[in-house]
Amino acid sequence: MIRISGPERCELTFDTAGFRVRCERNTPRFSGIATSKKPKLYIASVDDVPFYVGVTKQSLRSRLRFGWNAKGEGGCYGYAWRHVLTTAFLDVWCHEDPPAAKPSLDIETIEAEVVFLIRSAGQWPLYQTEIHFHPSTPEHRQIAAAIMSRYTPSLTKAST
């Protein structure tokens, strides 16, 4: 059984140079599962419309900092949405008991299933640039459906 905690929600305000966070505990920093080194799924959204789905084992602050500071070396140009939007919500889920041999496998599989559900509703997430595909089980698909139940998968609202 895959044990997922979350979501924890943070609000991001940002420009191309940096970001500020307000977590659900009303503090100006990431806390809770967002600081964990365990595998995490995160979804960036506007008006509950997801525009980016990602995974990381780093703390969210480190992962976002990398996405903000990327300059194209090694093919990584960072988050495209930082050039277009100025606010977003970031929801985070954590895989609490990942297998030691392949700790990111389940969360990457759930990531792909979440993105598939968004695509099935009309279009890929607006700023999605990468996805990890792995064979999924009914459990992965059920977790993805539960995660997506909090969103509106239409991309029309997030395009501004």
Mean pLDDT by 10 residues, the chain (160 residues): 96 94 89 95 96 96 91 79 96 96 97 95 90 95 97 56
Q: Minimal CA–CA distance to 85: which of 55, 129, 49, 117?
A: 49
Q: What is the pLDDT of residue 157?
A: 45
Q: What is the pLDDT of residue 154?
A: 62
* CATH 1.20.950 fits domain 4-153: no
pTM for the model stands at 0.92
Residue 20's alpha-carbon distances to 65, 68, 71, 77, 111, in angstroms, are 11, 12, 20, 20, 25
Rounded CA separation 28/147 (Å): 25
Amino acid identity, residue 31? S
Q: What are the extents of the domains in the chain?
A: 4-153
Is 115 within 8 Å of 125 (Cβ atoms)? yes
Q: What residue ranges in the chain does DSSP mark as E strands? A: 4-14, 19-23, 40-46, 49-56, 87-95
Q: What is the pLDDT of residue 69?
A: 87
Rounded CA separation 90/82 (Å): 13
Q: What is the pLDDT of residue 129?
A: 84
Q: What is the pLDDT of residue 26?
A: 85
The two tokens of residue 72 are 């194209």
Say which residue the tokens 């100025």 belong to. Answer: 86
Is 134 within 8 Å of 108 (Cβ atoms)? yes
